[in-house]
Structure 1
């Protein structure tokens, strides 16, 4: 499967590394705003032996239409920002390119755009694309269904520079029907990401915890999603849709 990657920050680099080391996928290119690394080989920059053609391009010097036409891909993976979808979304959907977005938070306007794009192609969005955290979400919803009266608190820990409440924590709160006031945020050091759901029963507690050890976990999640979307019809998908397929079999 041919992949185009939008965004090349710390997480984008980790995701690119995972893709380059998987023989079933080919990283065709990376698109970023800055021209600093333009035309550098992704594999050479990351120090990974690979025959893949992936080069780094700058959106300041090439349009997404030209990039997709000259270097076509089967899927675009977005690790940029919540406004990145405006850069590539329309061009990708018109060409039938699958869109996999791992942006942590979208406003209602961007969510509406994802829905519109899904009328022409496969669109997937998850605030946290790691497989483990979505297992956590699945298990937490199951426990809440068994005991809907249980007390619930959510704790999310991230690196010191992360702004706002974690999109994953917000998704957990929404799924478990608790308010944002039940989300406790911690910002210290270089934590990649940790989410904990605390269930308070009389005389006992249950804690479900997921922790990302390294950002490569996002790359593994991306490939899991891409593989499960291979034969899906156009539409808007979330992680739960993919997991449900495995529970139904």
Structure 2
């Protein structure tokens, strides 16, 4: 039985994620929901030039309510690559139907974080500001290295495409995990960099560098699928990548 997915958001990352889902035989992309009416009622496989028997139609919130979409086209999990406000649009409707939620939004304010907690009382909710496997492996490694060398100097450098605004949510998450002041994050905005995070550990007479670089946005799709496979089996509650990865690090 395939895992039925509804995808929220169809920007550059959303399109890449949709392509990954469509090419995975364990998943079925039932629909895509976006704010604008551009591409409305188009087939995602046809738009992306992929052969697929999955429906994958594009809907707009301008013409269909989320509750109606979920009633007409039920899914097992919603994957959100839209915007900070998206969770307010679909969150309660999904939770009321016990649909699992995977949010890959890079930054939430306290209002959205509180909403995730409320939704997690009804269904299974996952949030990670960066859903790529590599970044989360980097974070695990960084925490381990800091544990064995608690006095080491640590610098965080994050690089992204020129149009990205604000400090990377992933870099902020890393800073919090390592108890580093967010104000000390070094940000670079240039060209079309998809995303790069570098941690520099300054030891006396030596340095250690941990680097993760996203080569293409399909990496976010692979991460979302990895999470969905585990999340589908978990009870209601609020989860992050550490909850998902911990079992894999048991030696």
TM-score (norm 2): 0.98
**Match status 1:27 vs 2:29:** yes
* Structure 1 portions without partners, runs of 5+: none
Q: Aligned-pair RMSD on alpha carbons?
A: 0.6
Match of 2:188 in 1: 186
Whether 2:230 is the aligned partner of 1:223: answer: no
After the TM superposition, which of the residue ranges 181-190 and 11-20 deviates more from structure 2? 181-190
Matched, 1:48 2:50: yes
Q: Deviations over 1:133-170 (max 9, x none)?
A: 00000000000111111000000000000000000000
Distance 1:174 1:199 in 2: 16
TM superposition shift of 1:230? 1.8
Count, aligned residues: 249
The CA deviation at 1:182 is: 2.1
Between the aligned partners of 1:221 and 1:33, the Cα distance in structure 2 is 24
- 2:131–2:223 CA contact under 8 A, matched in 1: yes
Stretches of structure 2 that go unaligned for 5 or more consecutive residues are none
Distance in 1 between the 2:222 and 2:165 partners?
24
Tell me how far apart the structure 1 counterparts of residues 91 and 250 of structure 2 sit (CA, whole Å). 31
Q: Equivalent of 1:113, from 112, 115, 124? A: 115
Q: Distance in 2 between matches of 1:59 and 1:46?
A: 21
- After TM superposition, give the deviation of residue 204 of structure 1 in Å: 0.4
Mapped contact 1:152–1:182 kept (Cα < 8 A): no
Kept in 1, the 8 Å contact 2:100–2:232? The answer is: no
Aligned to 2:65: 63
* Equivalent in the alignment of 2:13: 11
